[in-house]
Amino acid sequence: AEDGYDLWLRYRPLPAAQRPEPRTIAPGADTPTLKIARAELQRGLGGLVGGAPSPDSPSILLGTPAGSPAVAALNLPLKGAGDEGYLIRTVGKTTVIAGNSDIGVLYGVFHYLRLVQTGQGVDTLDILSAPKVKHRLLNHWDNLNGSVERGYAGASLWDWWKLPDYKDPRYVDYARANASIGINGAVLNNVNAKADSLTAPYIAKAAALAEVFRPYGIKVYLSARFSAPIEIGGLKTADPLDPAVRAFWKAKADEIYKAIPDFGGFLVKANSEGQPGPQDYGRTHVDGANMLADAVGPHGGIVMWRAFVYSHEQPDDRAKQGYGEFKPFDGQFRDNVIVQVKNGAIDFQPREPFHPLFGAMPKTNLGMEFQITKEYLGFATHLVYLGPLYEETLKSDTYAKGQGSTVAKVVDGTLDGRSQTLMAGVANIGRDRNWSGSQFDQANWYVFGRLAWDPEASTKDIAADWARMTFSTDPRFVQPAVAMMMGSREAAVDYMTPLGLHHQMGRSHHYGPGPWVSGGERADWTSVYYAKAGKDGIGFDRTAAGSNAVAQYAPVVAQRFSDLKTVDEKDLLWFHHLPWTYRLRSGQTLWDGLVTHYSRGVSYVDGMGRTWADLAPYVDPERHAQVADFLAIQRNEAQWWRDASIAYFQTFSGLPLPAGEAAPP
Ligand code: GCW
């Protein structure tokens, strides 16, 4: 069935005009990874190209200089390929796919197949590629009971009941899909972790998954609950300076590495949203992270310590807390600790300015955490391609070392010469046949992997690759589909939270509008806290006159955000509280402009519906119908967002709608 299970690795026959000649695949070393590489080539070319090669057909030679005399004899310049990269080069009638490691070769094979699959010529190639980020990880927020926190694609893929004895073949498909985009690690369990995940039975289950993933270059990692020494270690404390606690973690690490020799390490959410952490004992993030780092360090493991922290007390401005708690510790974390920072300081909103920690901790490994699952962007039914969101953040200039100090350069380590680099994505994968809950959400998994390999890549080009691989290489399909994808995130910003508004979603589930949400246990879980709408106007003043969150950015950036003449209007109400009659650059009042943005979001979704209808000839009926049905849901809900937001905010603005705008029902 055309249900999307194949993802972007469909390998259906290419149109004749795009089909290269059949090729023979030269025999070579039979390591587990190279066997997979050869089988993938066979499968890919068999499907895409078909036909039987003849004795004088061109051939493909793959391998490493160390494992293949034929590759070694070519004396290829493989230095730039590093540990995981590859060189694809045409030498006479042979295409060589070579790397310094088997996994590099497998990545090269996937690149080669992508060229074939997207209808690009493969006759003369000379491509050198190496990942710019070392740890390219999915973070699964998967619970041990099979549910997935913020997961919209069904239950967890990991069948904990049947592991370790039964290894679902789907684990191979998962590993293969990840390898095809360069992802090299998976944190198996939720950051809101249960200590059970570190007990012997679960270590055995994780080891079984690690065994399946290993030939695909994917390491497993676990989220560690900081209080595990109490819950499963029989201790009275989890104080990181307590010798018994330190001994517990050392022994735990030794036990894990015995079962999983290439275990990646721990991810930790500590002292945030009620999770235990070192501050419970009057200790610091450094004390906690370094203790765990010392436990896994001798085995080559890392600790990813999350900077998404905020306390239970009424915060001053939640946007400031991560920076406030971490910046003072710059230079104090061990070399194998990576501080994992969300792209923005609040929480995976449709749009946030980049997190002020980027660029602010030059003596610390800082990793990026993006969310692939669309917690705040309409779950699985809204078509929102996240490429432009990721790209906007990565291209943001921190000015930490003058102009050009982009977030991408912090993340890839080049700004401060760091090599423990990390890009993590909160996975959108579950047991749905289509993996991600919708056809188009597969693109978000895809673009995340490609950007982790190269944070400076163009997400438009990546969308085009994905659309060709997933649906059709016909330009009459690709061009409109990519255009539709590229504008889809801005449309969601428009109908949900235009002009710098944020966190206006329904309470706790975060689906649908809830700008009126107030009260409850925490102000910073309410929409009214973030929008600060009143008769006088709307927006969160983060300038020096307000919470002064702007001061956490480099002076040039702070200045730009603070000044109404220079702040980008897309961030306007993130940084400023303004009267309803404030004049936007368009000449419209703020009120009229807000209404216009909401409506523009709705019309964009309308347009996507029409575009998709026109694209029916290029898509199989099954996938086409599902996307069309989801777009209809999105259309209704964009309207709901618009109407609800306008109706609510109008109670403050007291202003009429601009001409031609329909009143909410
Ligand atoms: O935004 C919040 C989510 C929580 C999540 C938390 C986090 C895993 O609503 O579900 O918990 O972020 O990132 O820790």
In this prediction, residues 121-140 reach a mean pLDDT of: 98
Cα(269) to centroid of ligand 1, in Å? 10
Number of H helices, E strands in the chain: 19, 13
In this prediction, residues 165-191 reach a mean pLDDT of: 98
- Residue pLDDT, tens place only, 190-217: 999 999 999 999 999 999 999 999 999 9
Sheet of strand 126-129, all strands in order from the earlier edge strand to the far edge: 24-25, 59-63, 94-98, 86-91, 126-129
* Cis? peptide before 58, omega within 30° of 0: no
**Residue 122: closest CA among 14, 234, 284:** 14
pLDDT at 313: 67
Structure tokens, 294: 């010392």
Domain annotation for the chain: domains and CATH numbers: 16-129 (3.30.379.10), 135-470 (3.20.20.80), 493-540+577-653 (3.90.1330.10)
pLDDT at 314: 61
- Probe residue for ligand 1, chosen from 148, 150, 342, 343 as the CB with the greatest number of ligand atoms within 8 Å: 150
Sorted by sequence, the CB contacts under 8 Å of residue 27 that are 6+ apart come out as: none
In this prediction, residues 480-489 reach a mean pLDDT of: 99
Cβ atoms of 52 and 87 within 8 Å: the answer is no
Q: Is the torsion defined by CA of 643, 649, 654, 656 positive or negative?
A: negative
141 lines ligand 1 (CB under 6 A): yes
- Probe residue for ligand 1, chosen from 143, 267, 318, 347 as the CB with the greatest number of ligand atoms within 8 Å: 347
Cα(204) to centroid of ligand 1, in Å? 27
In this prediction, residues 152-174 reach a mean pLDDT of: 98
CA–CA separation, 323 vs 309, rounded Å? 9
**Residue 136: closest CA among 60, 216, 73:** 216
308 lines ligand 1 (CB under 6 A): yes
CA–CA separation, 605 vs 65, rounded Å? 52
pLDDT at 310: 85
Instruction: Quote the mean pLDDT of the chain.
Output: 97
Cα(623) to centroid of ligand 1, in Å? 31
Cβ atoms of 459 and 444 within 8 Å: the answer is no
310 lines ligand 1 (CB under 6 A): no
342 lines ligand 1 (CB under 6 A): no
- Residue pLDDT, tens place only, 485-519: 999 999 999 999 999 999 999 999 999 999 999 99
CA–CA separation, 560 vs 539, rounded Å? 17
**Residue 28: closest CA among 98, 83, 104, 87:** 98
In this prediction, residues 33-57 reach a mean pLDDT of: 96
Structure tokens, 490: 């801005």
341 lines ligand 1 (CB under 6 A): no
CA–CA separation, 15 vs 58, rounded Å? 20
**Residues with a known catalytic role:** 273, 347, 375
Closest protein CA for atom 11 of ligand 1? 192
Cα(503) to centroid of ligand 1, in Å? 13
The alpha carbon of residue 378 and the mean position of all alpha carbons in its chain are separated, in whole angstroms, by 16
The alpha carbon torsion through 631, 170, 176, 299 (nearest 10 deg) reads 120
Give, in order, the Cα–Cα distances in Å from 533 to each of 410, 428, 529: 36, 33, 9
187 lines ligand 1 (CB under 6 A): no
pLDDT at 315: 67
Q: What is the ipTM of this complex?
A: 0.99
In this prediction, residues 125-154 reach a mean pLDDT of: 98
Helix axes 387-395, 459-470, angle to 10 degrees: 160
Q: What percent of the chain stands above pLDDT 70?
A: 99
191 lines ligand 1 (CB under 6 A): yes
**The model's pTM:** 0.98
Cα(530) to centroid of ligand 1, in Å? 17
pLDDT at 524: 85
